[in-house]
Amino acid sequence: MDAVKHIGLSEASLGPEEEEAVLAVLRSGWLTQGEKVATFERAFARTHAMEHAVAVNSATAGLHLSLAALGIGPGEDVLVPAVTFVATANAVFYTGAKALPVDAAAADNPHMSMEHAASLLTDRTRAVILMHYGGYAMDMEAWSAFCARHGLLLLEDAAHAPGLKGVGRQSSAAVYSFFGNKNMTTAEGGMITTRDGALAERLRRLRGHAMSAPTLTRARGHAFSYDIEELGWNYRLDELRAAVGLAQLQKLDAFNARRAALARLYRRLMAEALPEAAAPFSGEHASVNHLFTVVLPEGTARPDVMRAMRERGVQTSIHYPPWYRFTWHSDQVGTVSLPHADAYCARTLTLPLHPQMTDDDVAYVVQSLSSSLR
């Protein structure tokens, strides 16, 4: 084994452009939501070929806001992936509706099973949230047809998918995350995209306590007070994060291209050294490669593998522990049979993937995994 390296799971790619952008905002004297946020929204919408983009302070807030703006509430069910971060389900519960976990398509495919989704439909079912797991595109044509056939709203959890073509074009709204480990970051933050102008206007109003006149408008003397006609939330993004987001957006294509190259190398080296540890999806699947995950062989003691990898300086993770088995969530959804999701969550392992990695780093990770499994 070579000398131990130190390879983090994910690292933000920040440079002088982000530093200068933040300094410019600090020097401007206006830090809360303002023109920089609006500029970021327009640029993000343009990059993703969408009519509207609404910046928020997290993807979780964006999902909740979208559901609330669309009228989801108590007494209704929303179908969500069993294999996702807990925020996807939490956003549904925030509205008073119930999140129902949909099984994975297979033990080595974390995407939602349409067959299982169909079996869960009742007169309470109001919407479906898809999640582009790891940055790999869901079949939007098929799911759009499914929702149209059953009279359901369709939303996309695109937290892993900035830059993925086609996202948002066939749903009511798509929600992105700019958390520090994502393909582009603002430290904390998120974005909602939609083609519906009325929905976009409602989202903008609700993210700022539903005030009829936002702070910047009042500061400029265009309004002396405001009214509130419905319940809103404080889900605004600030100018500092928007400035970082604009700088990151300029680099997104390059970031995603490097991720794609690293993922291709992973697949080639894994096929040669570890064919027994399968990588979900194929190298041809449309993706922005947020995650590179493998499904460990049955019977593998995953904690031992992760410990051995850590001793070799390689950080690993699990995406995700099954949210429907957490204590609080289990109380909400009750006893559920999700064999494919359970199998995937029990055997998946996430390997490092970020633009700063070198080809040698990938080779080292694969070598370390091979040694840890032996």
**Residues designated catalytic:** 182
Q: Nearest 5°: CA angle at 232, between 231 and 237? A: 175
Q: How far apart are the first and last CA of the chain?
A: 13
Rounded CA-CA distance 322/306 in Å is: 18
Long-range own/partner contacts, residues 304-307 (CB < 8 A, 24 or more apart) = 304/372, 305/349, 305/369, 305/372, 305/373, 306/349
Residues 6+ apart with CB under 8 A from 195: 50, 51, 52, 168, 169
Q: Is the peptide bond before 266 cis (omega within 30 degrees of 0)?
A: no
Report the run of H or E that residue 329 belongs to, with start and end.
helix 327-333
Separation in Å, CA 216 to CA 191, 202, 229, 231: 20, 18, 20, 20
Rounded CA-CA distance 137/292 in Å is: 14
20 φψ region: left (φ > 0), alpha (ψ -120 to 50), beta (else)? alpha
CB neighbourhood size of 253 (10 A): 12
Separation in Å, CA 287 to CA 125, 248, 256: 29, 19, 9
Classify strands 104-106 and 98-102 as parallel, antiparallel or unpaired: unpaired
Question: Do the Cβ atoms of 103 and 111 come closer than 8 Å?
Answer: no
CA dihedral 103, 109, 110, 113 (to 10 degrees): -30
Question: Do the Cβ atoms of 61 and 69 come closer than 8 Å?
Answer: no
Signed CA dihedral, 246, 248, 253, 256: sign only: negative
